[in-house]
């Protein structure tokens, strides 16, 4: 795919959704961090359902720590892998209090040292909370990038590297959200909704399957 096509694709996505946002519900950087940590192998809908009840009770590292592992589990038991996630939440709160004055660090290395926080989660927090022009490649972004040919690669790491180089700079800040939403609602896994896709004529997936 040439760069003009990429520019046209992101221009259309921008016109359709000028201010894209995560679908995770949160009111603070700490709440965002915990929500993203819980969202691994889970839907945003299921996470929001749990955090609607959890955050009114525990919306700071100190309050979360006071719940303890078993207390957190009671609120997130409907989410996949809730046992290990509850343990990671509590361990993360310990570190935030002890090492970061109860604040979420605006630093990739520090974020990735938090239990349950990998590169993808760190990228979401850096992008959504702190405005860094980074892209967290999840299953939706990986699929859309490869299918459309915006950025192809056999690994998440390679797709992220290519996106960071090939997404036109004016769109880099919001590319993460546009690609996720496009993959979630239009360029879905089993049967992409090509007929209602606003970038169908620019996408190179159709050319491949014809």
User: Catalytic one among 63, 70, 101, 120?
Assistant: 120
Mean pLDDT of 148-154: 96
- Report the domain count for the chain: 2
Q: pLDDT, tens digit, for every residue of 10-54?
A: 999 999 999 999 999 999 999 999 999 999 889 999 999 999 999
pLDDT tens-digit readout, 193-205: 999 999 999 999 9
Active site residue 70: no
Q: Which of 107, 138, 154, 201 is catalytic?
A: 138
Assess whether 122 and 35 both reside in one domain.
Answer: yes
Considering the domain architecture, whether residues 63 and 115 belong to the same structural domain is answered as yes
Same domain, 13 and 58: no
Q: Could you confirm whether 120 is annotated as catalytic?
A: yes
Range of the domain at 117: 29-128
Query: Are 42 and 119 part of one and the same domain?
Result: yes
Domain end point (choices 128, 145, 169): 128
Task: Let me know whether 40 and 114 are in one domain.
Answer: yes
What sections of the chain are H helices per DSSP? 3-16, 29-38, 44-54, 61-76, 82-100, 108-112, 119-128, 139-148, 156-166, 172-185, 205-209
| CATH number of the structural domain spanning residue 111 | 1.10.340.30
Q: 180, 123 in Cβ contact below 8 A?
A: no
């Amino acid at each position: 795919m040439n760069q003009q096509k990429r520019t046209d694709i992101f221009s259309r996505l921008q016109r359709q959704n000028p201010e894209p946002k995560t679908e995770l519900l949160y009111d603070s950087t700490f709440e965002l961090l915990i929500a993203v940590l819980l969202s691994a192998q889970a839907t945003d809908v299921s996470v929001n359902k749990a955090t609607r009840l959890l955050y009114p009770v525990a919306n700071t590292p100190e309050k979360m720590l006071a719940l303890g592992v078993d207390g957190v589990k009671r609120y997130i038991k409907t989410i996949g892998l809730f046992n290990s996630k509850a343990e990671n939440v509590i361990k993360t709160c310990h570190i935030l209090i002890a090492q970061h004055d109860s604040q979420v660090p605006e630093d990739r290395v520090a974020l990735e040292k938090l239990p349950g926080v990998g590169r993808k989660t760190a990228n979401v927090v850096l992008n959504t909370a702190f405005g860094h022009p980074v892209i967290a490649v999840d299953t939706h972004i990986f699929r859309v990038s490869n299918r459309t040919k915006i950025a192809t690669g056999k690994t998440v790491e390679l797709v992220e590297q290519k996106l960071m180089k090939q997404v036109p700079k004016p769109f880099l800040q919001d590319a993460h959200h546009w690609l996720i939403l496009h993959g979630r609602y239009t360029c879905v896994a089993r049967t992409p909704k090509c007929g209602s896709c606003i970038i169908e004529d620019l996408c190179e997936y159709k050319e491949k399957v014809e």
